[in-house]
């Protein structure tokens, strides 16, 4: 057997044409993430990840129309959401359950043709923002809102969440966050999705598995923990003492470090810029200033750079979003990458089944329970 590799660090588990991270540069289908963050709509990015090319104007218009049509939630889904909306569980547990419910109420859930899988992928990317927004309202006893045909996915999401038409700056910020979180090669949640569907299980099962993996604080759950940390710091003058205490206890600083990037996550700078733009407009730069001070001190003390989760926390906070919805927003975006990987896995499938090195007891003999 080959040597054990804890955490599968550096192991290549499959080939992909969806995204690459080479020498700290992230590209989606060969397009630099900075270029996409600056210019692309989230809808274009979904198309790019599924079809390995950008859509032309007509293709994009049709794609957007299909997405908007699929955004609505059926009454059975709203009824299921009503049953759990007030449970005291993390919103990611609600999302995991509701995606599973989408599978329950999709008559085509077991369909395995290419057409059926693309159609289910479309339903999932379209319904994810509506689910998060509906849950956010229903847990506060507010009526869930229907998507509007005249808004982009980012705009619709903010509208359905808040009930008011978002400003162009807020739509730009949300769109940029969705583009930047959409895809990231063989991260833990994408790997979970691929492992699941490689058994020839269905797409809803794959996405349910992925949501479970994204929830954890070492992965997507870090963005919520970043906001918890910033709130605990509370003022720029507390940054050093707070971080010193954390590091002395050998605790991880959320939103820093990365398994793959050696010199920093390129997505962080675009979110930092967005964060600066948002806070400059509101005139309340407190959270941005604290974040900059944290970034500087963690670099000075540990030579660690922020990852995608660090500045996304302040961006969402500036958009007025509750902190426990930060990771669910990650699902609204990452469903693009998960679905692309699931479709790619089906295209050229092989069961994913690594080995474990056995380090337990050997040569035991069964003793009847009465004699133990
Ligand atoms: C979307 C995303 O998933 S991005 C990642 C989001 N997660 C986080 O922000 C959580 C905080 N970060 C981390 O826990 C890690 O950096 C991970 C999970 C992202 C990567 O983990 P790994 O590649 O397994 O690195 P590992 O945890 O072994 O860290 C290597 C060393 O750097 C240190 N280190 C890494 N990240 C951090 C951190 N955030 N704070 C403090 N120390 C850290 C570790 O303590 C370890 O030091 P040691 O060798 O002296 O023990
Ligand atoms: O790639 C990873 O390990 C985690 C990450 O940054 C992501 O999923 O966006």
Write the DSSP assignment of 151-220 as a string of letters.
S-HHHHHHHHHHSSPPPHHHHHHHHHHHHHHS--TT-HHHHHHHHHHTTT--HHHHHHHHHHHHTSTTTT
List, in sequence order, every beta strand (DSSP E) within 29-73: 31-32
Q: Examine the pLDDT at 4 and tell me if it is beyond 90.
A: no
What digits encode the pLDDT tens for the residues 133-157?
999 999 999 999 999 999 999 999 9
**Rounded to the nearest whole angstrom, what is the distance from the C-alpha of residue 251 to the centroid of ligand 1?**
10
Same fold, 18-190+323-347 and 222-318: no
Percent with pLDDT over 70 in the chain:
100
* Overall average pLDDT of the 339-367 stretch: 97
Which band of pLDDT confidence, cut at 50, 70 and 90, is reported for residue 41? very high
The CATH number of the domain covering residues in 18-190+323-347: 1.10.580.10
Any idea where the domains of the chain sit in the sequence?
Answer: 18-190+323-347, 222-318
Whole-number Å distance between alpha carbons of 95 and 368: 45
pLDDT of 3 strictly over 90: no
What mean pLDDT do residues 248-253 have? Answer: 98
Fold of 222-318: Cytochrome p450-Terp; domain 2 (1.10.230)
Does any ligand 1 atom lie closer than 6 A to the CB of residue 304?
yes
94: three-class secondary structure by DSSP = helix
Backbone angles phi, psi at 157, to 5 degrees: -60, -50
Q: CB–CB of 99/132 below 8 Å?
A: no
Interval 218-233: pLDDT, tens: 999 999 999 999 999 9
Q: Do residues 81 and 138 make contact, with C-beta atoms less than 8 angstroms apart?
A: yes
Is ligand 1 within 6 A of the CB of residue 124? Answer: no
pLDDT of residue 314: 95
In b/e form, how buried is each residue of 234-248, taking b as 16+ CB within 10 angstroms? eeeeebeebbeebee
Of all protein residues, the one whose alpha carbon is nearest to atom 8 of ligand 2 is 187
Mean of per-residue pLDDT scores for the chain: 97
The per-residue pLDDT for 106 is 97
Q: Which two tokens stand for residue 347?
A: 């295209």
Q: Does the beta carbon of 301 lie inside 6 Å of ligand 1?
A: no
Nearest atom, ligand 2, residue 21 CA:
1
Torsion of CA 40, 41, 46, 47, to 10 degrees: -70
Torsion of CA 63, 64, 68, 70, to 10 degrees: 20
Active site residue 258: yes
When pLDDT is averaged across residues 101-123 and rounded to a whole number, the result is 96
How much of the chain exceeds pLDDT 90, in percent?
98
For the stretch 310-345, pLDDT in tens is: 999 999 999 999 999 999 999 999 999 999 999 999
Give the C-alpha distances (Å, rounded to integers) separating 79 from 71, 105, 137, 260. Answer: 16, 12, 14, 42
> Which ipTM did the prediction report?
0.99
């Amino acid at each position: 057997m080959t040597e054990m590799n804890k955490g599968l660090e550096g192991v290549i588990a499959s080939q992909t044409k969806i995204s690459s991270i080479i020498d700290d540069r992230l590209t989606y289908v060969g397009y630099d993430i900075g270029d996409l963050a600056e210019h692309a709509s989230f809808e274009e990015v979904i198309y790019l990840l599924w079809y390995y090319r950008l859509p032309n104007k007509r293709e994009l218009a049709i794609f957007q129309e299909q997405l908007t049509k699929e955004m609505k939630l059926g009454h059975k889904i709203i009824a299921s959401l009503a049953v759990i909306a007030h449970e005291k569980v993390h919103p990611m547990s609600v999302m995991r359950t509701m995606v599973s419910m989408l599978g329950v109420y999709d008559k085509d859930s077991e369909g395995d043709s290419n057409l059926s899988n693309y159609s289910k992928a479309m339903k999932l990317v379209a319904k994810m923002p509506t689910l998060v927004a509906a849950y956010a309202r229903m847990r506060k006893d507010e009526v869930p809102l229907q998507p509007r045909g005249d808004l982009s996915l980012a705009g619709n999401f903010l509208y359905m969440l808040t009930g008011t038409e978002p400003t162009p700056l807020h739509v730009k910020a949300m769109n940029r966050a969705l583009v930047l979180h959409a895809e990231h090669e063989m991260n833990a949640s994408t790997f979970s999705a691929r492992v699941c569907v490689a058994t020839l299980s269905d797409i809803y099962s794959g996405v349910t598995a992925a949501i479970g993996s994204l929830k954890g604080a070492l992965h997507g759950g870090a963005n919520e923990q970043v906001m918890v940390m910033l709130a605990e710091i509370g003022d720029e003058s507390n940054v050093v003492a707070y971080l010193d205490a954390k590091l002395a206890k050998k605790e991880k600083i959320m939103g820093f470090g990365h398994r793959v990037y050696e010199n920093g996550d390129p997505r962080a700078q675009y979110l930092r810029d967005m964060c600066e733009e948002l806070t400059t407009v509101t005139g309340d730069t407190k959270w941005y200033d604290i974040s900059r001070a944290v970034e500087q001190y963690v670099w000075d003390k540990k030579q660690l750079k922020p990852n995608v989760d660090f500045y996304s926390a302040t961006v969402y906070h500036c958009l007025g979003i509750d902190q426990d919805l930060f990771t669910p927003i990650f699902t609204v975006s990452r469903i693009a990458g998960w679905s692309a990987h699931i479709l790619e896995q089906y295209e050229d499938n092989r069961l994913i089944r690594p080995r474990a090195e056995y380090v337990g007891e050997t040569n035991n003999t069964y003793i009847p329970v009465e004699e133990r």
